[in-house]
Structure 1
Amino acid sequence: MEAYRPVKRGDLFLVRQAMHPVEFKVVETDPQPYCIVAPDTIIHCEGEPVRREDEEKMDEVGYDDIGGCRRQMAQIREMIELPLRHPTLFKTLGVKPPRGVLLYGPPGSGKTLIARAVANETGAFFFLINGPEIMSKMAGESESNLRKAFEEAEANAPAIIFIDEIDSIAPKREKANGEVERRIVSQMLTLMDGLKQRASVVVIGATNRPNSIDPALRRFGRFDREIDIGVPDENGRLEIFRIHTRNMKLGDDVDPLAIAKETHGFVGADMAALCTEAAMQCIREKMDLIDIEGDSIDAEVLASLAVSQDHFRHALGNSNPSSLRETVVEVPNVTWDDIGGLEGVKSELQEMVQYPIEHPEKFERFGMSPSRGVLFYGPPGCGKTLLAKAVANECQANFISVKGPELLTMWFGESESNVRDVFEKARAAAPCVLFFDELDSIATTRGGSAGDGGGAADRVINQMLTEIDGVGSKKNVFIIGATNRPDIIDPAILRPGRLDQLLFIPMPDFESRLSVLRATLRKSPVAADVDLEYIATATDKFTGADLTEICQRAAKLGIREQIQREIERERLREANAEQGLDAMEDDDGEDEVYEITKAHFEEAVRASRRSVSDKDLNQYDGFAAKLSQSRAAITSTGSSLANFAFPDRPAGIGGGGAAAA
């Protein structure tokens, strides 16, 4: 017996008998609204037990359980509800009612849920066919299973036939491996054509891969309408979050708007997983008060449970959009404050990336589409990768990092397929920053790579060019490339409309070096007499990575010294204990302040080295000058446009608007 548990109308509780527990549902309490189930509670059973199937029907989904796809739901109701509820509308107009609807979209976006909700709301007979289930090794049995499903649906009209994972039973016939798949596709076409005009049967298909379905199924008269159940936007995520949390016990500090903003790329299933993970974190915090082996949980513990904003933050840290699980997708925790110097580059990046994501209405008002991408080039260790992470974090976008060589494989056509997949994932997780590190490894100038396996590198570049052009302006995907060799990158990638913004990440100057040192050491205990400005002056031509290495070396020296002191102190304490001396005078070492001292920095600077030589620096400066010249506006006659200005005209002449006084 679940003793001393407060129950209300609708709650379930167990009574443990000798053989098995019996489950009871509370239909009424006296007094209202709560009562306590105690060990001496007498339970009178009247009538027959309730069938669990009937009980579960009360939990069926409806339109109220679906969020984030209002536009699609309006289309679905129009295409499915009208033919089922009011077939006379179509008869009056003399047209055939729609036969089928194909729902496609990423896994977890709610395709199956929508089909069940429509069936429940219309009261139609719902026949579910899971694609692989109708397959049989016996000849002709697979087609027979499909025929039986359609016959049963027609006999129970109005009916909805829902075929989940339809791509598994209706692939393109020319690509089907066996004869069975071809016969099933043919049977499917015959059955959909054979549905009586006013049989009040609608077929709904669901798939994640609409382009792998046989084209004959996608024509008018079969699947009349294809509806994209895509990744929800911020408002859609807010709706879904409220649906999943309406029965949850939430703390007062939970901010649904903030959670909806931070869950870019999440579909309905991901939002459900997020809520479950937050609830699990809430339970974990109370695990010391819960006896796992006990029969019941104390009522006070249950009353104290509530999911807070911190629990959701923890869940967000452990959750990724399901469509991107196989890709390293994260919102990085690098901020502008973590990057020392590069103030000019930071402001340019804010304009290029943050403005289009945070102020899209301004771009619409000025009739301008935002820039698609940027190329970082410069010496290694100057912060190119760190900048890309900071950009993604500052505009709260997802971040997909792609190492150039990872895309290349030995199989014909697979490298291009990898490029396509990466861009598809970025679009699904929009707003997203897609970062190509070591871009020169996959985007070298075409035609110059002899013996590369049948022009595989050229095909990869061609695929990249088409994908960058195909990134619709409505999809907030921003591409960042980083390279140390801008001279060998194909010029087509750098033309306007692709990676048209070229940002040279230079060697840090004095102010930048000082900023790097401060940013690196901001969480470290540095002695007050350490002069970081002097270190910045002495480390001319050092990269940000070199300076970070100096700080790490100094910190390691400090850690080593502290460990050696503790070992020495322990040895001294043991020696004193053996001699019977009082060890109290040693205890003042416990209050010793841990710091990185001048001596540690002096030794670290002496052991440091530059990673970029003068020869390399001259080469990078040459790259920068060459690229800026190639971008300079020089006309064919050689005249420079650097001093371009409109001629002065008297007021009222010309096509422009009048200037305001």
Structure 2
Amino acid sequence: MADPSGAAPQPGPNDISTAILRPKKSPNRLIVDEATFNNNSVAAMNSATMELLQSFHCSTIIVHGKKRRDTVLICLSSDNVDEGKIQMNKVARNNLRVKLGDLVNVHTCDDIKYGKRLHILPFDNLIEGLSGNIFDVYLKPYFHEAYCPVRKGDTFLVQRGMRTVEFKVIETDPAEFCIAAQDTVIHTEGDPVKREDEESNLNDVGYDDIGGCHKQMAQIRELVKLPLQHPQLFKAIGIKPPCGILMFGPPGTGKTLIARAVANETGAFFLLINGPEIMNKLAGESEGNLRKAFEEAEKNSPAIIFIDEIDSIAPKGEKPNTVEHCVVSQLLTLMDGFKTCLNIVVMAATNRPDLIDPALRRFGWFDREIDIGIPDLTGRLEILHIHTKNMKLADNVDLEQIAANTDSYVGSDVASLCSEAAMQRIREKMDLIDLYGDTIDAEVLDDLGVTMENFHFALGTSKPSALQETVVEVPTTTWGDIGDLKKVKQVILNSLLLPL
């Protein structure tokens, strides 16, 4: 029986279609907890948990987080930590791209090498007006006589007096994981790290940023993650992994976002091919552009090739010897050559799958088709939580009510709705904002919480993108404009209007 709320049926406990999304039971999987200390290089665990991991006090551990991020920490035993949990401070959590309550994989690693050379640079926004030698003032005391694990790409904070400076590990020698010892040489030459570059890395889209398509994400992760990270599964069972995945659905449902999230979470090289941009009227140019893209992916494997708007380069019913026909032939040839390569996956997206050349939709090419449709009530609520997680919301905001009032909205519509509600709140405070001043009063900033009324305003000015080009014209014709036909009018009146 259908759910009257319109929500899609949730998978039951015996439904294995979403098994890849379920947390795996393992003593190595621990829940991230708030640290009672402020050491960037330390994690704390219960002694019973450490015993299961075959670890001991002051041993080194490697912790795997999200988006293929990992780091190395010193493990301390503490009775203040619950079993099955691991305490890390905010710096370590940021390096792992995890938050409190997330799951991480922990492994003991006792063969970490001592570092010969480290290249460490500060962030530009935290050293303005800083005097003195950065190495002598900050780094030397931080690493002095310390058994300090470091990982290439990690950041850490150093506090001296009233000032805190954030640093990034640019290079490590001899390995990405190493221990900074007394004889480790630390280099600080070079321009400071730009804060905006690091923030763009922190904002890389991941699985947590995808909502409203739980079952579809399970399918995609099976078809992409398993071939890229565990190709031996397919060899062991004696089959070849899917060669191509075609996602279809209305604009704004998140097809490109899904492809980027999968690439970031698997650590694969991501190559985006925009269909219209690759086309060229000159003979052979379009095929050449396609070959170059596939060659680049092969050099940087494991890789994900994502072809957006594939219907523009492989339309249905093209005559032989046209540019589009040649591109389809080239694409089939390239994908056929990659069938034996388990570490390259081709994904594509379209709004109109019926317009794609049928040759590409046969088994062995884009043989898996996944419908990324309009989200249901539960999906819209998930998307609302994602887009409002960093927003300042007033206490009267009811996300469930907003989700119920956004029928037929796709992900981009929900994002636009949240943005418009926030802009409306700013407009309400415009009288208190000095447009010619350099600063804004702190009280104004504190009172910028978006209210339910702001969302009501945004709902009144927006509508689903799928309906934006739909115009309904109400006719002005009345019964009096129709002459004669009394019997016909009476039949219509009795059959249609009176029941209503």
TM-score interval, smaller chain: 0.5 to 0.7
Instruction: Give percent identity, aligned residues only.
Output: 61
CA distance in 1, matches of 2:400, 2:278: 44
Partner of 2:267: 123
Kept in 2, the 8 Å contact 1:170–1:184? The answer is yes
Partner of 1:149: 293
Shift of 1:322: 1.0
Taking a change above 3 Å as real, the CA distance of residues 626 and 253 of structure 1, as seen in their structure-2 partners, is closer
Shift of 1:174: 2.7
SS at match of 1:174: coil
Partner of 2:217: 73
CA distance in 1, matches of 2:245, 2:127: 48
SS at match of 1:265: coil
Shift of 1:102: 0.3
Taking a change above 3 Å as real, the CA distance of residues 627 and 118 of structure 1, as seen in their structure-2 partners, is closer
Shift of 1:199: 3.6
Taking a change above 3 Å as real, the CA distance of residues 154 and 325 of structure 1, as seen in their structure-2 partners, is same
Partner of 2:112: none
1:86 to 230, 233, 236: 230
Shift of 1:137: 3.6
**Which has the larger strand fraction?**
2
Partner of 1:259: 402
SS at match of 1:167: helix
Kept in 1, the 8 Å contact 2:228–2:342? The answer is no
Taking a change above 3 Å as real, the CA distance of residues 137 and 626 of structure 1, as seen in their structure-2 partners, is closer
Partner deviation per Cα, 1:153-199 (whole Å, 9 max, x = no partner): 122211100011111111124369x8211111110111111114134
Q: Does 1:103 align with 2:226?
A: no
Structure 1 portions without partners, runs of 5+: 1-7, 18-24, 36-44, 329-400, 404-436, 439-481, 485-610, 632-661
Kept in 1, the 8 Å contact 2:158–2:164? The answer is no
TM-score (norm 2): 0.60
**Letter in structure 2 aligned against 1:258:** Q
Taking a change above 3 Å as real, the CA distance of residues 300 and 16 of structure 1, as seen in their structure-2 partners, is farther
Matches within 5 A, 1:256-295: 256-295=399-438
Shift of 1:625: 8.3
1:623 to 488, 491, 494: 491
Q: Does 1:62 align with 2:210?
A: no
CA distance in 1, matches of 2:387, 2:361: 34
Kept in 2, the 8 Å contact 1:165–1:207? The answer is yes
Partner deviation per Cα, 1:478-497 (whole Å, 9 max, x = no partner): xxxx995xxxxxxxxxxxxx
Kept in 1, the 8 Å contact 2:245–2:370? The answer is yes
CA distance in 1, matches of 2:264, 2:237: 28
Taking a change above 3 Å as real, the CA distance of residues 191 and 31 of structure 1, as seen in their structure-2 partners, is same
Partner deviation per Cα, 1:264-313 (whole Å, 9 max, x = no partner): 11100000000000000000001111111222212121111110000000
Matches within 5 A, 1:554-633: 619=487, 622-623=490-491
Matches within 5 A, 1:73-472: 73-174=217-318, 179-328=322-471, 401=472
SS at match of 1:101: strand
**Quick check: which has more Rg, 1 or 2?**
1
**Letter in structure 2 aligned against 1:187:** Q
Kept in 1, the 8 Å contact 2:271–2:304? The answer is yes
Partner deviation per Cα, 1:224-262 (whole Å, 9 max, x = no partner): 111010000010000000000000000000000000000
CA distance in 2, matches of 1:33, 1:272: 38
Taking a change above 3 Å as real, the CA distance of residues 95 and 187 of structure 1, as seen in their structure-2 partners, is same
**Letter in structure 2 aligned against 1:149:** A
Taking a change above 3 Å as real, the CA distance of residues 77 and 289 of structure 1, as seen in their structure-2 partners, is same
Matches within 5 A, 1:29-68: 48-51=191-194, 52-68=196-212
CA distance in 2, matches of 1:194, 1:116: 24
**Letter in structure 2 aligned against 1:265:** S
CA distance in 1, matches of 2:373, 2:484: 48
Partner deviation per Cα, 1:357-378 (whole Å, 9 max, x = no partner): xxxxxxxxxxxxxxxxxxxxxx
CA distance in 2, matches of 1:34, 1:315: 41
Moved over 6 A (4+): 8-17, 28-35
Taking a change above 3 Å as real, the CA distance of residues 32 and 192 of structure 1, as seen in their structure-2 partners, is farther
Shift of 1:622: 3.8
**Which has the larger helix fraction?**
1
CA distance in 1, matches of 2:191, 2:300: 29
Kept in 2, the 8 Å contact 1:157–1:199? The answer is no
Taking a change above 3 Å as real, the CA distance of residues 285 and 13 of structure 1, as seen in their structure-2 partners, is farther
Kept in 2, the 8 Å contact 1:87–1:198? The answer is no
SS at match of 1:126: strand
**Letter in structure 2 aligned against 1:223:** F
Kept in 1, the 8 Å contact 2:253–2:412? The answer is yes
CA distance in 2, matches of 1:215, 1:621: 49
SS at match of 1:223: coil
Matches within 5 A, 1:408-557: none
Shift of 1:327: 1.1
Taking a change above 3 Å as real, the CA distance of residues 28 and 240 of structure 1, as seen in their structure-2 partners, is farther
Shift of 1:623: 2.7
CA distance in 1, matches of 2:420, 2:128: 30
SS at match of 1:247: coil
Shift of 1:143: 0.6
CA distance in 2, matches of 1:164, 1:142: 15
Taking a change above 3 Å as real, the CA distance of residues 275 and 306 of structure 1, as seen in their structure-2 partners, is same
Structure 2 portions without partners, runs of 5+: 1-89, 95-122, 130-154, 166-187
Partner deviation per Cα, 1:520-562 (whole Å, 9 max, x = no partner): xxxxxxxxxxxxxxxxxxxxxxxxxxxxxxxxxxxxxxxxxxx
**Letter in structure 2 aligned against 1:60:** D
